[in-house]
């Protein structure tokens, strides 16, 4: 995509000079390679996390065709979003990432809102991935132990979730260099693990769906339109709810920007890290999802058991299609990958917390911006882990969309947390993407850029983000609609309450106080009075 400049020098001196030009001294240890930068975004996207933990969302809201068609279509749009962000990080490779770009191009107010949306999204994605990991750990153990499976409880899963967060925090605090090594290992675990799962799903099951069923069968288990699989309600309300599968899985790639101050040759390495992590995840994720969908088992009548998969998720699918032994192996591979992902999410969120607090934008900034002797933001790591646990507390409330005789336990809180992650992250992406489009040719690009293609790419990116974010604020089932019979707050998708509520509170805070003292990025060295440009 780059067609205007030669790459910047990859030496740490060149990186430090570029960072100094942006107004910051080198504080974090620059120990990450370009591959490590790619690896953290690839690990956070984690096709073995998002694809599997949110699979039932697509099955319930469209069936196999929702999986087969929405993934590739949305992946193309997300790749366009990635290209626009690669251009931005190449010009401005700082740990503040999204927030810093918005503040530089749109002023303190744009930076303030962008930073908070991004931060909320990063905390939520950390929570979502860690909770998904805990769920898969529980499923893995249950596969090998009937006694353990028989004593299932939401409290047990939540305790496992807290343990996952604690372990991820300890690893993050120990060493930033260790995290780079873990992310490198994570890439190969995802590649080899996903390939192994695909092979198992192709070889082991006795039956597979046909191509016509995978790409054509529709299923509506949302409760909307009384289960109809045609008409306006299905196509424009039910099916778009399946967007969560793709949009949640392929997110968090802004980690490459947040780790740019720790990456050698950041102007090229971080830019490539963003778009390459999206591209390879999109391709690998689609292969994995098709393998899972072809392996959907039959019900007692010999028909594809879409209802069973919709209610029990991939845990049910693996056990029915593969048997307990193979299911346990597949779940173990997935749970391990999700732990890598949760740890990487915490790394990214802590770096954003450090950068945002460095500019005095978060309460307790003096505490949050402190580094250990190893130059790791330990206080930020611990804070994000605690907030992630608090955000997920509603997961302790059981939500049964079925009956006492035929229960259908749905993790509404988990889907809400993942929706918050998508809304927070992608809306924060949209602000600097729009501001870059508005700046036009006056924007000084970096070593990696989109040339004149930004004129349509950035507009397409913003439109996609707004549309998907609006859909993910809608009720996920009929019991979440206030005027319907059976409405209860436990069924409600609380994502819009958190996202919109945060925006309202931030607006009040801005008008009452923040605008009087917040001036945007606080430079740690004097910045030259000239536009931002990439070092050449």
Query: What does the angle CA 216 – CA 59 – CA 279 come to, to the nearest 5 degrees?
Result: 80
What is the spatial distance between Cα 46 and Cα 112, in angstroms, rounded to a whole number? 29
Q: What is the predicted pLDDT for the residue at 403?
A: 64
Q: What is the predicted pLDDT for the residue at 64?
A: 97
* Burial class of 235 by CB neighbour count within 10 A (0 to 12, 13 to 18, 19+): middle
Element containing residue 502 per DSSP (H, E): helix 495-509
Strands (E), 30-172: 61-62
Tens digits of residue pLDDT in 33-53:
888 899 889 988 999 999 999
Return the CATH superfamily for domain 33-517: Amino acid/polyamine transporter I (1.20.1740.10)
Contact 473, 119 (CB under 8 A): no
- CA nearest 417: which of 164, 123, 137? 123
Query: Token match 């309450």: residue?
Result: 497
Contact 71, 289 (CB under 8 A): yes
DSSP, collapsed to helix, strand or coil, labels residue 219 as strand
- Using a cut of 0.85, tell me whether the model's pTM lies above it: yes
Query: Which two three-digit tokens encode residue 525?
Result: 């060295």
- Torsion, Cα 526 528 533 534, to 10 degrees, reads -50
What is the spatial distance between Cα 99 and Cα 108, in angstroms, rounded to a whole number? 10
- Domain spans, the chain: 33-517
* Burial class of 365 by CB neighbour count within 10 A (0 to 12, 13 to 18, 19+): middle
Tens digits of residue pLDDT in 392-432:
998 888 877 666 766 666 677 788 888 899 999 999 999 99
Tens digits of residue pLDDT in 283-299:
999 999 999 999 999 98
Strands (E), 260-306: none
DSSP 62: E
Q: What is the predicted pLDDT for the residue at 131?
A: 95
Element containing residue 289 per DSSP (H, E): helix 266-294
């Amino acid at each position: 995509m780059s067609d205007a400049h030669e790459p910047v020098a990859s030496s740490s001196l060149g990186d430090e000079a570029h960072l100094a030009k942006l107004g910051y001294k080198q504080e974090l240890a620059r120990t990450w390679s370009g591959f490590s930068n790619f690896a953290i975004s690839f690990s956070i996207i984690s096709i073995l996390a998002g694809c599997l933990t949110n699979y039932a969302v697509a099955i319930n809201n469209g069936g196999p065709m929702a999986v087969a068609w929405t993934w590739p279509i949305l992946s193309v749009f997300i790749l366009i979003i990635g290209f626009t962000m690669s251009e931005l990080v190449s010009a401005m490779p700082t740990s503040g990432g999204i927030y810093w770009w918005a503040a530089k191009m749109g002023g303190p107010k744009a930076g303030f809102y962008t930073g908070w949306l991004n931060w909320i999204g990063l905390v939520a994605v950390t929570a979502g991935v860690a909770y998904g990991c805990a769920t898969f750990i529980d499923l893995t153990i249950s596969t090998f132990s009937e006694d353990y499976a028989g004593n299932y409880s939401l409290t047990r899963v939540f305790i496992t979730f807290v343990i996952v967060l604690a372990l991820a925090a300890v690893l993050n605090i120990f060493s930033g260099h260790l995290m780079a090594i873990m992310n490198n290992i994570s890439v190969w675990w995802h590649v080899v693990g996903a390939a192994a799962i695909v092979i198992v799903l192709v070889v082991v099951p006795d039956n597979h769906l046909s191509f016509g069923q995978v790409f054509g069968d529709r299923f509506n288990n949302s409760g909307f339109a009384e289960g109809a699989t045609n008409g306006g309600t299905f196509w424009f309300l039910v099916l778009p709810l399946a967007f969560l599968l793709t949009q949640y899985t392929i997110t968090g790639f802004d980690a490459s920007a947040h780790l740019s101050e720790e990456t050698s040759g950041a102007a090229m390495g971080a830019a490539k890290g963003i778009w390459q992590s999206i591209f390879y995840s999109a391709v690998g994720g689609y292969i994995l999802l098709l393998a899972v969908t072809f392996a959907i088992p039959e019900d007692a009548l010999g028909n594809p058991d879409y209802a069973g998969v919709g209610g029990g998720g991939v845990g049910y699918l693996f056990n029915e299609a593969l048997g307990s032994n193979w299911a346990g192996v597949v779940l173990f591979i997935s749970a391990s990958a999700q732990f890598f992902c949760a740890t990487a999410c915490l790394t990214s969120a802590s770096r954003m917390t450090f950068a945002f607090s460095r500019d005095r934008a978060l309460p307790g900034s003096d505490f949050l911006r402190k580094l250990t002797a190893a130059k790791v933001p330990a206080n930020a790591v611990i804070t994000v882990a605690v907030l992630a646990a608090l955000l997920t507390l509603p997961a302790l409330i059981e939500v049964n969309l079925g009956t006492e005789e035929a229960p259908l336990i749905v993790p509404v809180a988990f889907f809400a947390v993942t929706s918050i992650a998508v809304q927070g992250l992608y809306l924060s992406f949209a602000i600097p993407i729009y501001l870059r489009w508005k700046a036009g040719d006056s924007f000084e690009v970096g070593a990696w850029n989109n040339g004149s293609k930004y004129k349509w790419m950035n507009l397409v990116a913003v439109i996609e983000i707004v549309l998907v974010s609006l859909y993910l604020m809608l009720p996920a089932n009929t019991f979440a609609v206030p005027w319907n019979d059976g409405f209860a707050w436990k069924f409600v998708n609380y994502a819009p309450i958190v996202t919109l509520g945060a925006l309202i509170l931030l607006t009040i805070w801005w008008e009452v106080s923040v605008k009087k003292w917040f001036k945007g990025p606080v430079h740690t060295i004097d910045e030259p009075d000239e536009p931002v440009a990439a070092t050449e």
